């Protein structure tokens, strides 16, 4: 009788072993912090949605940066709620104004005190604490998709964080400018705070950026845009709600019922992608300096930065973006 149970026991133990091996084979999630000037150009809203829909990431913190950071934090908090991710803390960055912005209508009446999760009033310190609290074998990737006064201040308060984090940014224009023109431009995230960009680039962490050379070419059109615009997914719907509000603010003569037929340029989504993989992109390690005019130039005197300089397969990136934003709905 004892022998009749032995095969079943062997099968059970085998399945347990295989299950253990399968779980061991699962790659660890990438711990990330997002530092964003969301609420200005709409691309940050699309980027945050992509971040939340990327299972490779363990999002530790999302922090508002530049201008009216309270307004920006409200957008972050409400989007996190829509996504069912109130487990993610929100940080309020250095507040430089009280002017609101083009997506104010979407957070009219919303207060940060309503957010069910944690809100850090000192977002800079929250960045420092999160980086210092990470395990040495799993450093945090700091994704920056705006001008960076928060990051400059964090490095000033705690310069040692540069040895305990990785940096990925949407910054610069090296060979191509806006719209793919064959001349670099003073890219907004850089020219809006040249000294903060210099500080982030000079810090000792590993540095990766998407300049306009690649991120300035990303736009969803045709069927790709229609799938997102018509999606029933709550997060995709929130993105499109914000996009339509923003779109009207950019074209005041448009009518209430007018709707865009393509996305704007989705610069910041490429930085989210680079934080997990360099797939579909050609990378070059280049010495980069930031001029007083906000132009990022190749110069032997500059720190070496891993730069996404061209696309190998941009349609594949577009398809990934649509699939993740819509969640198949």
Q: How far apart are CA 182 and CA 2, in angstroms?
A: 79
| Residue 1 falls inside a structural domain | no
How many structural domains compose the chain?
Answer: 1
pLDDT of residue 17: 46
Give me the CATH number covering residue 284.
3.90.245.10
| Residue 67 falls inside a structural domain | yes
Residue the block writes with tokens 């009280």:
98
Residue the block writes with tokens 């009207």:
248
Q: DSSP for 174-234, please give it.
A: SS--GGG-SS----HHHHT-HHHHHHHHHSSS-EEE--HHHHTT----HHHHHHHHT---H
Q: Which two tokens stand for residue 110?
A: 């919303």
pLDDT of residue 327: 87
| Residue 9 falls inside a structural domain | no
- Domain residues for the domain of 205 are 29-326
| Residue 238 falls inside a structural domain | yes
pLDDT of residue 329: 76
- Sheet of 296-298, strand order: 119-120, 90-91, 57-64, 30-36, 140-145, 165-169, 207-209, 304-311, 281-290, 296-298
Q: How far apart are CA 314 and CA 219, in angstroms?
A: 10
pLDDT of residue 206: 98
What string of pLDDT tens digits covers the 329 residues of the chain?
444 445 444 444 444 444 555 445 678 999 999 999 999 999 999 999 999 999 999 999 999 999 999 999 999 999 999 999 999 999 999 999 999 999 999 999 999 999 999 999 999 999 999 999 999 999 999 999 999 999 999 999 999 999 999 999 999 999 999 999 999 999 999 999 999 999 999 999 999 999 999 999 999 999 999 999 999 999 999 999 999 999 999 876 665 557 899 999 999 999 999 999 999 999 999 999 999 999 999 999 999 999 999 999 999 999 999 999 998 77
**Global pTM?**
0.91
Sorted by sequence, the CB contacts under 8 Å of residue 48 that are 6+ apart come out as: 34, 36, 38, 62, 76, 79
| Residue 10 falls inside a structural domain | no
DSSP 8-class letter at 67: S
pLDDT of residue 8: 45
| Residue 23 falls inside a structural domain | no
pLDDT of residue 259: 83
| Residue 155 falls inside a structural domain | yes
Q: How far apart are CA 329 and CA 316, in angstroms?
A: 19
| Residue 6 falls inside a structural domain | no
**Backbone phi, psi, residue 193, to 5°:** -160, 80
Q: Which two tokens stand for residue 5?
A: 């149970």
């Amino acid at each position: 009788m004892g022998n009749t149970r032995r095969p079943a026991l062997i099968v059970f133990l085998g399945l347990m072993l295989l299950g253990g091996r399968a779980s061991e084979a699962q790659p660890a999630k990438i711990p990330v912090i997002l530092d964003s000037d969301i609420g200005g150009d709409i691309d940050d809203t699309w980027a945050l949605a992509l971040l939340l829909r990327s299972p490779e990431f363990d999002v530790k913190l999302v922090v508002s940066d530049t201008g009216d950071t309270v307004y920006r934090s409200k957008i972050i908090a409400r989007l996190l709620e829509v996504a069912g991710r109130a487990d993610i803390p929100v940080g309020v960055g250095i507040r430089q104004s009280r002017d609101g912005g083009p997506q104010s209508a979407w957070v009219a009446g919303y207060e940060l005190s309503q957010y069910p999760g944690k809100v850090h009033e000192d977002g800079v310190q929250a960045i420092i604490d999160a980086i210092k609290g990470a395990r040495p074998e799993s450093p945090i990737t700091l994704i920056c998709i705006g001008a960076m006064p928060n990051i400059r201040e964090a490095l000033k308060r705690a310069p040692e964080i540069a040895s305990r984090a990785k940096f990925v940014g949407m910054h610069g224009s090296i060979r191509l400018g806006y719209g793919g023109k064959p001349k670099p431009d003073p890219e907004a995230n850089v020219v809006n705070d040249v000294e903060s960009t210099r500080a982030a680039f000079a810090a000792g962490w590993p540095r990766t950026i998407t300049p306009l050379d690649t991120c300035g070419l990303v736009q969803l059109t045709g069927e790709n845009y229609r799938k997102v615009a018509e999606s029933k997914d709550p997060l995709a719907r929130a993105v499109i709600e914000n996009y339509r509000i923003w779109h009207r603010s950019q074209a005041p003569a448009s009518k209430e019922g007018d709707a865009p037929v393509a996305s704007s340029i989705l610069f910041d989504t490429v930085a989210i992608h680079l934080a997990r993989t360099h797939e579909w992109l050609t990378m070059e390690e280049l010495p980069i300096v930031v001029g007083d005019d906000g132009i990022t130039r190749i110069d032997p005197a500059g720190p070496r930065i891993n730069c996404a300089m061209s696309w190998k397969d941009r349609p594949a990136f577009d398809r990934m973006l649509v699939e993740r934003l819509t969640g198949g709905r």
